[in-house]
Chains A and B, each alone.
Chain A
Amino acid sequence: MRSHPHRARYLALGTTALLAAALIAGCSSGGGSKPSSSGPIIIGTSLSLTGDFSTDGIAFEKGYELWVHDINAHGGIMGRKVQLDILNDNSSQTQVVTNYTDLINVKHVDLTFGPFSSLLTAPAAEVAHRYNFAFIEGAGGSPLVFGEKLPDVFDVALPVANELDPFVNWIKSLPASQRPTTAAYPMANDPFATPQVQLAQSELQPLGIKTLYSKIFPEEEPDYLPNADIVAGKKPQAVILGSVDVPTVAAFMKGFEEQHYNPKVFVAAAGPDQGSAFESAVGGPGNANGMMVPDAWYPGYPSATSQAMVNEYVAKYGGTASGVNADVAEAYSVGEVTAQAVEATHSLSGPKLIAYLHSGVTLTSVEGPVSFNSIGENVKAIAFIFQWQNGKFVQVLPTTATGSVPILYPKTNWSS
């Protein structure tokens, strides 16, 4: 038995354990000052700046930062400036829990904003709940989040399942001879995409629109072409695609083009709402023409604050108005709702804010009116359907809503 290497090893282990403990203790005692009532208001949030959700995480970051910049230009909240403390959760469940624990217990933030994605919002909301923080967020709208039935969760964005309602209503409003007679419902296996498409299918089938294809495919498919080919082969007049990102839509569009197949109407759950990222991925405005997508907001939304926000975004980050990602508006709305709640209750106390937000009051945001039910859903959120027309992203449905332009139907053919 060689004991010397043993000793060396255990010595090393012991030292490391102590070092690890010291590191853990050290980083958990440093940081923020105790909350005061006259310094800046510190708002903490965890965003996915790297990892799977990074595109949206970064858009959210820009939205939050834009709002902070604006609110401070108008004197802050309750006369105090606002400061943002953003941590990166790397799209990781473990990290988001650590981050909010840290923000609340070490950095001693006054308020919290939500992270990106329901998958991260659910665990994060539990942490906030534990410490009696109001948790206002704009990206956690799936049943997973609301299933917790936490009183502190407030989702300013549109609940996911109803996003396609205006589309369905429009089809219903068409005379029977003009409606598409057949439809395909390909869906990515994702809690965001599947519910709304399935709901749409259940409403369109009774109208006599024959379902030629209704299947769920893996969310991270290396190659969507075989699926696109199968759908194209059936030649449905309408395609309602449950996509979650630009690559999925782009792949289906590409597959359809290669099969020389063009549906009369094509609506995708997500992707066409990503502005210039979408347009360039599909090869330009010619191909994008006619593509429809639901959303609660778009850069052209006719509200003064929304327009102001869009102009500022373009001024600060460049690009054009149509390139502004809807995530930015969602994040901005989170800030707006928070500010209104704090001003109204004149306090930063979590329980007071929670009580106020659950009182049925209607607040305003760049995305329209906001009012929460008992589990935190925004029941006044409006759904719109948008369409690309000649390189512009315009609102088309509901036809009666202010700002809607005539819908382009049937969809024009591919032209890259």
Chain B
Amino acid sequence: MTKQTVAQGSGLLLLLAVAAVFPLVFTNPTATNFAVVTLVFVAVASAWNIFSGFSGYLSLGHAVFYGTGAYFLTVAANDWKLSAGAIFWLVPLAGLAAAVIAVPLGLVALRVRRHTFVVITIAFFFIAQLSASNLSVTGGSSGMLVPQPNWAGATFNNPFYYVALVIAVATIVLAWLVRRSRFGLQLRAIRDDEDRAAGLGVRAMPVKLAALVLSAFITGMAGAVWVYFTGEAVPQFVFDPLFDLAIVLMAFFGGLGTVAGPVLGALVLQPAQLWLNLEETNSYSSEILFGALFLVVILFLPRGVLPTGAEYLSKAQAWIRRRRAAPGETAREPAAGADDAITPTSAPGGAA
């Protein structure tokens, strides 16, 4: 146990403690409302990253998993007539439903690469949205209501908060474990150069599919929590094209392929979006702002805020160390830090 590990460990524990008492300190339902929605997106962004960030396959169809989870909970809650608290037990089942859906979708989509993959995920998105509008089991275009609990208004949001918190924390831990594991290494090898990885013995399809299924499981759970929280499942809201783009932006903003990146992205962007709508009732300036922010991130922080920020921080520390070292004596600095995210050096599949 080095000093640094202890420091990091206690820092994380502190963060967890703060999160645990958040609703007890900030009791206003608006605060917990923001928190629930933000935590849901932290989970989704991290889950998306476990698949797309690590494997390099950009998915714009994750709303399919979100929606599957949401509709599963809605239909089951209506059919099985559960009590308000018991409905939360449907959440993991909803995740399972999404995971099951991910298998056939993955077997079809993961056979193609890059742009084709992206467009197939878009196609799946539309097929899902339109099917939900047409089928009577999902309530058709009118949608369905989710039975709402009768809890008091002042603390209504709190159970949702804790469920969302558990899911978000579990997702972050999962992402961290995947990253450190051999599985994660195989994923990153696929991202760097899939054919070379296959040549080295990585069985690409099972690995990719496993990542997709895991990602879908979490995303489905998040969708279930969200739909229970807001109370209705309507095709055009459950399957929202901007949902996928928002997650991608969050993951990108924070740092694609890192563990903390999507979390940072969600923590910053989701409350910001809710807040911006509360403050800026005038129209489309928020959209232009979003687009501009996007461009700034892409052009100047191409690896995301965190990796770039971390780089600057490391460079600053190294500079300070050099200044502190006496002239003539080279500072004892650790080897210059490329972060341990293996930076891909070639585009998968060929020349840039």
Contact = CB atoms under 8 A, between A and B. Distances in A.
A and B touch in the complex (CB under 8 A): yes
Interface of A: 1-14, 16-21, 23-25, 27-29, 49-50, 52, 86-90, 92-95, 97-99, 101-102, 104-106, 119, 122-123, 126, 130-132, 142-144, 147-148, 189-191, 194, 218-219
A157 to B, nearest CB: 17
A194 B236 CA distance: 17
A219 B22 CA distance: 43
Given A8-B310, A10-B260, A93-B232, A119 B278 contact: no
Contact of A130 (B12, B14, B156, B337): B156
Contact of B26 (A25, A90, A101): A25
Contact of A105 (B28, B133, B311): B28
A119 B268 contact: no
Contact of B232 (A6, A14, A144): A144
Nearest to B180: A1
B31 A28 contact: yes
A3 B283 contact: no
Interface stretch (B97-105, B111-119, B138-146, B182-190): B138-146
A98 B281 contact: no
6 contacts: A1-B340, A4-B337, A23-B275, A25-B31, A27-B275, A50-B284
B38 A20 contact: yes
Contacts of A8: 309-310, 313-314
Given A2-B340, A5-B313, 12 more contacts: A2-B338, A10-B11, A12-B306, A12-B310, A13-B260, A20-B267, A29-B28, A49-B283, A50-B284, A93-B237, A94-B274, A190-B141
Given A28-B34, A87-B278, A218-B133, A144 B153 contact: no
A127 to B, nearest CB: 8
Interface string B1-24: 000100110011011001100100
B134 interface: yes
Nearest to B259: A9
Contacts of B281: 49, 86-88
Contacts, number: 196
Contacts of B153: 130-132
B141 A191 contact: yes
B278 A101 contact: no
B83 interface: no
A4 B335 CA distance: 10
B28 A123 contact: no
B18 A5 contact: no
Nearest to B318: A4
A9 B260 contact: yes
10 nearest A-B pairs in the assembled complex, by CB-CB distance: A191-B142, A28-B31, A5-B339, A28-B30, A8-B313, A130-B153, A8-B310, A20-B267, A88-B281, A93-B237
Contacts of B28: 28-29, 105-106
A110 B125 CA distance: 42
A68 B18 CA distance: 44
Contacts of A93: 230, 232, 234, 237
Contacts of A144: 142-145, 232, 234
Contacts of B229: 97
B79 to A, nearest CB: 15
A119 B31 contact: no
B126 to A, nearest CB: 10
Given A10-B11, A20-B267, A142 B142 contact: yes
B340 A5 contact: yes
B236 to A, nearest CB: 7
A28 B26 contact: yes
A153 to B, nearest CB: 12
A132 to B, nearest CB: 8
Interface string B259-286: 0100110011001101101101111101
Contact of A2 (B152, B278, B337): B337
B121 interface: no
A5 B337 contact: yes
Contacts of A13: 260, 263-264, 306
Nearest to B312: A8
B33 interface: yes
A16 B34 contact: no
Nearest to B339: A5
B163 interface: no
B30 A98 contact: yes
